[in-house]
Amino acid sequence: MKSITINGSKRESVGKVATKALRNAGRVPCVLYGGGEPLHFSAPELDFSKLVYTPNAHTVVINLDGENVAAILQDIQFHPLTDKILHIDFYRLFDDKEVSMNIPVKVEGAAPGVLNSGGVLVLNKRKLRVKALPKDLPDFIVANISKLKLGNKLYTTELQTEEYTLLHPDNTVVCQVRTSRASVNEEEDEDDTTTEEGTEGGDTASAAEISEAPAES
pLDDT, position 205: 35
| Lowest-pLDDT choice from 10-19, 108-117, 161-170, 205-214 | 205-214
CB–CB of 30/42 below 8 Å?
yes
Structurally, the chain folds into a number of domains equal to 3
Tell me: do 59 and 81 sit in the same domain: yes
Mean pLDDT, residues 146-172: 95
Tell me: do 23 and 70 sit in the same domain: yes
Tell me: do 56 and 117 sit in the same domain: no
Tell me: do 161 and 207 sit in the same domain: no
pLDDT, one tens digit per residue, over 190-212 is: 555 444 444 444 443 333 332 33
Mean pLDDT, residues 36-53: 92
Question: Which has the higher per-residue pLDDT, 176 or 213?
Answer: 176
| Separation between Cα atoms, residue 6 and residue 76, nearest integer Å | 15
Mean pLDDT, residues 176-189: 67
pLDDT, one tens digit per residue, over 95-144 is: 999 999 999 999 999 999 999 989 999 999 999 999 999 999 999 999 99
Task: Please list, residue by residue across 55-86, b when 16 or more beta carbons sit within 10 angstroms of its beta carbon and e when fewer do.
Answer: eebbbbebebeeeebebbbbebeeeeeeeebe
pLDDT, position 35: 80
pLDDT, position 66: 86
pLDDT, position 13: 81
Domain carrying residue 69: 3-93
Tell me: do 174 and 196 sit in the same domain: no
pLDDT, one tens digit per residue, over 20-44 is: 999 999 999 999 999 888 999 999 9
pLDDT, position 182: 55
**CATH number for the domain including 12?**
2.40.240.10
**CATH number for the domain including 129?**
2.170.120.20
| Lowest-pLDDT choice from 76-80, 146-150, 182-186, 202-206 | 202-206
| Closest listed residue to residue 65, CA positions, set 12, 22, 15, 16 | 12
